[in-house]
Structures are given as C-alpha cells and as structure tokens.
Structure 1
Amino acid sequence: MTRHICIVTAVHAPSAPFLQDAYKSLSAQELPDDWEWHWVIQEDGRTDAVAPHVPDDTRVTFRQGRPGGPGVARTIALAQAEGEYVKVLDADDQLAPGALARDVAALEGDRTIGWATSRVLDHLPDGSTVGFAEDPDHGPIERGAVLDHWTANDFRAPVHPATLFVRRDLLVALGGWMALPASEDTGLLLALNSVSRGWFSAEVGLLYRKWEGQVTGQAAHVDAAERRARMAVVEERARALASMRWHHPGLG
C-alpha cells in the first residue's frame, strides 16, 4: 500500500516565481519504497499571477482562496492533504537532498516523536549560504524544551518552524497554524512541543531564501507592539496546553 506525505505551501504573487526552484528540490527527494508525496500549493488570495508558475505535475494541486496570511493558507490547504504526514515548504525555500527521507525515518522509527525539524542554511541573494552556530544536538527534543529556550532567548526558537514535518492528526488536533499576522508557524511549533516530543536533524534540511520581498523582511513584521502581542498569545497557548497535560494517544 502506498503511503503519502502532503507537502503544504502557501504562496502569494511576489513569491510565485520561486515555485519552480522549490519544485526542483522536491522532485529530487528520494523516498523509501511505497512512499509518495503530494504537493498542495495554496494561494493566499485570488490573482492571475501565481498559476503560471505552478508546475505541471499530477502530484501537484493548486488552490486559491481569500487572503488571510500564510497560516490561513496552509491550514485551508489541509482540506486537500492526503496521508499521515504533513511537510511545510514555503514557496521561496528549497528542500536539501535527503530531507524528506530523514523526516520519515525519524517519525517512523519512534512513535513517541510527533514532529521533526532540521538544520537550516540561509540562502543569500548572491547564492552563498550561511548556517547557525547554536543549533541543538542531533536527536530528540523533549516536551517543553522549545518553550524554555524561546522565553530565555528573546522569543527565538532553537529550531526553525519552516522545516516542520508533523503527524497530520496531531497537526489537525491543534487547529493547524495560529491565526496571527506573523509568527503563526512559531506558535504551532511551541504548541506541538507542549504536547509531544520532537526531533532535530543536524543535517541540512532546508535552504531558507533571503530576498527583498519576503514577508519576514517587512517593517510590519518587527513592529514592537504587535510583536509583544504575538509573543504573548503564543506563550499563553503553549503554557495552557502544557498545563492541561493533553497528549496524542499514540505518542505516550
């Protein structure tokens, strides 16, 4: 029986030209026998600018919807998702060779692991890459460890939410991505770590593109008042989940 991984991508018009690079990186992934991927590309809005960049591949589904931000786009894309695992791939990023196979191995090999992340390299406009000096150790991430690090380091998570690979039922149980104007993926990451163990791969899993038009580079993203509000609700949700001691029944 074929098993499926759903790749979920939110896209808007400025990032659409990068979809072909994302597709090349996805097509190059090698998966174990009997595994396949299905790529759901969800436009955050309804324009004529994205469709011309969507790859012509039967494994790719393209949908549009009213704009609500990348978190809303990813969450509504789950309606098209097949399979037991979901992998995030932002439109302007690229998977590193072997990333999907390592994700599958981590979660298939340990049923107490609910989600996986991996090392990231910033992909700069000149084509060079830059890594991070403070990545965690390769291996499991215990419950609560992400929140502890995040609160002690000016709201910076120890692992990158753009690399997330997660059990679909766990993702749906938490309501998908948070309804925030930004940091919606960090909010999901902290919520996941409040209810389940995770995994970090020290091998590079993602090339994170840095470019002038990216949403996280805009002034609104670092507005101090909004950032405080985002961080407050992200933390409150994570602590509430931890205090309720809820956990996925398959994760122990």
Structure 2
Amino acid sequence: MTNIVTVITAVHGPSAPFLTDAYKSLVDQQLPDGWGWQWVIQEDGETDAVAPHVPDDSRISFGQGRHGRAGVARTLALSRAEGDFVKVLDADDMLTPGTLARDLAALNKPGICWSTSRVLDLLPDGSTVGFDQDPPEGSIERGAVLEHWKAHDFRAQVHPATLCVRRDLLLALGGWMALPASEDTGLLLALNAVSRGWFSAETGLLYRKWPGQSTSQAAHVHEGERSARMAVVEARARALSALEGWRVNN
C-alpha cells in the first residue's frame, strides 16, 4: 500500500493559470519507494474560472466553496486529505526537485513534526532572489520562530509557504487561522509553540512575485489590519506555549 503525502493548494481565478506550472513541479518530484502524492485543490469561491486550469489526473481532487480567502480554502481542503503529512503549495508557486523527499526525510527524524525550506523569490523577468536571514540547516526549537519574528518586524526566519506538517497536529491546531492574511504565519508560530521543526538549506520553493498576488495588494500592509493580525498571531502562539500538556515530542 502506498503512503501518501497530501499537497494542499488554495486558488482563485487570477492565479488559476499558474496551476499548470505548479502541477509540473509536482509531477517532477521523485519520492521514496512506497510513497505517492495527492493534490487537493480548493477554489476560494464558486466560479467557472478555475476548473478549466485543473489538470486531468486521478491524483487530483478539486473542490469549491464560499469565498473566505486562502486560510478557509486550505482548511476546507483538509476534509479530503488522505495523507499522514500535508504539504502547502500556493497556486502560483513551484516546488523544486527533491522537495517532497527532503520533507519526508525531515519528518521521519525523531521529534520533528513539521519542516520548512529555503525559498527563492521568482521575479517576473525569470530571475530569482534569496532571503538574507535563512537559519542553518537543522532543527528549529520550540519558540525560536516567535522570538525571531518579534525581533525582525514580524518576519519569520523560515517561510510558511514551504510548510510540510503532520496532519494530526495540523488538525489539532484547527488548520489555518481565520484571518484575511498571515493565516499561514499564524499556523507556523502555533506549530513552533508546541513542537520542533526542521529547516532544509536546499531551495524547496520558487515563490512567484506578480502583480495579482495577495501579498502585493495595498490591503496587505494596511497598518490597522496588519497590527491586529500580528497581535492575534502572537497571542495564539503565546497561549499555546503556556498551556500545560501542549507539547509534541514525537
């Protein structure tokens, strides 16, 4: 019987044409013997704009739901997840070769419950730019992400768009936060509040920069909303850290 890693993708109309590139990056993954992948694509909305771009592959599950932004779409997608591990892949991003295999290797290390990797921004001209605060490869201790995030203007040292996580822990934490943005950062900090993670220094994701992406919109940096998002993300992480019994060791 094949073990499954579930890849979850939230998508809306403007990003749907990029699904072809995301799919190619997934098909190109070489997994260990006995492993396969399932791609769960969830449209944030119920339109006719996305379905024509969904590849014809029996390993793909496509669903739709009321508009609620990416976090809601991903959490709804969890209802169809079959794997013990869940990998995030935004519709406009691409995995690099070997990413899923490295994630699985990390998650099989004792005490590691989630994994992340180096990211390269993919610019419109095809060039790439790296991040200047990558940690060294290895384990990430509980609380380390929150500490760095607070000290660097709410920017974590590892990227939430690269997360691969145990499905049981993801469900226990309630999926992604119910926020209009930063819902993936909220999940990352919650995971780190209760468990250890891993960072791979090999590039695992090409993070596409384009005018239609959510993080390029003015609303994303609106100071009032941003302050509220950061406050609740931090409060949740600290509350989880303080709860007796909320520690995951294996």
TM-score, structure 1 normalization: 0.98
CA deviations over 1:85-142 (Å, ceiling 9, x no partner): 000000000000000000000111x230110000000000000101112100100000
What's the secondary structure of 2:186's corresponding residue?
Answer: helix
CA distance in 2, matches of 1:116, 1:185: 14
Q: In the alignment, which residue of structure 1 is the partner of 2:55?
A: 55
Q: Is the 8 A contact 2:195 2:247 kept in 1?
A: yes
Q: Is the 8 A contact 2:16 2:49 kept in 1?
A: yes
Q: How far did residue 246 of structure 1 move?
A: 3.6
> What is the Cα-based RMSD across aligned positions, in Å?
0.8
Q: In the alignment, which residue of structure 2 is the partner of 1:42?
A: 42
Q: In the alignment, which residue of structure 2 is the partner of 1:210?
A: 209
Q: In the alignment, which residue of structure 2 is the partner of 1:27?
A: 27
Consecutive unaligned residues in structure 2, runs of 5 or more: none
Q: In the alignment, which residue of structure 1 is the partner of 2:148?
A: 149
Q: How far did residue 229 of structure 1 move?
A: 0.3
Q: Is the 8 A contact 1:42 1:73 kept in 2?
A: yes
Q: How far did residue 230 of structure 1 move?
A: 0.3
CA deviations over 1:194-213 (Å, ceiling 9, x no partner): 00000000000000000010
Consecutive unaligned residues in structure 1, runs of 5 or more: none
Q: Is the 8 A contact 2:240 2:246 kept in 1?
A: no
Change in CA separation of 1:193 and 1:245 when aligned onto 2, cut-off 3 Å:
farther
Q: How far did residue 64 of structure 1 move?
A: 0.3
CA distance in 2, matches of 1:107, 1:75: 21
What's the secondary structure of 1:5's corresponding residue?
Answer: strand
Q: Is the 8 A contact 1:170 1:248 kept in 2?
A: no
CA distance in 2, matches of 1:166, 1:245: 22
Q: How far did residue 247 of structure 1 move?
A: 3.5
CA distance in 1, matches of 2:132, 2:192: 22
Note the 1:75-94 alignment, pairs <5 A.
Answer: 75-94=75-94
What's the secondary structure of 2:48's corresponding residue?
Answer: coil
Structure 1 stretches of 4+ with a deviation exceeding 3 A read: 245-249
Equivalent residues, number: 250
Change in CA separation of 1:55 and 1:123 when aligned onto 2, cut-off 3 Å:
same
Q: How far did residue 2 of structure 1 move?
A: 1.2
What's the secondary structure of 2:118's corresponding residue?
Answer: strand
Q: Is the 8 A contact 1:195 1:245 kept in 2?
A: no
CA distance in 2, matches of 1:177, 1:121: 23
CA deviations over 1:57-103 (Å, ceiling 9, x no partner): 00001000000000000000000000100000000000000000000
CA distance in 2, matches of 1:147, 1:209: 25
CA distance in 2, matches of 1:122, 1:245: 39
CA distance in 1, matches of 2:247, 2:132: 33
Q: How far did residue 248 of structure 1 move?
A: 5.3
Q: In the alignment, which residue of structure 2 is the partner of 1:8?
A: 8
CA distance in 2, matches of 1:214, 1:133: 22
CA distance in 2, matches of 1:191, 1:129: 30
TM-score, structure 2 normalization: 0.99
User: How many percent of aligned residue pairs carry the same amino acid?
Assistant: 72
Q: Is the 8 A contact 1:195 1:246 kept in 2?
A: no
What's the secondary structure of 1:111's corresponding residue?
Answer: coil
CA distance in 1, matches of 2:133, 2:178: 29
CA distance in 2, matches of 1:248, 1:54: 39
CA distance in 2, matches of 1:2, 1:44: 30
Q: How far did residue 150 of structure 1 move?
A: 0.5
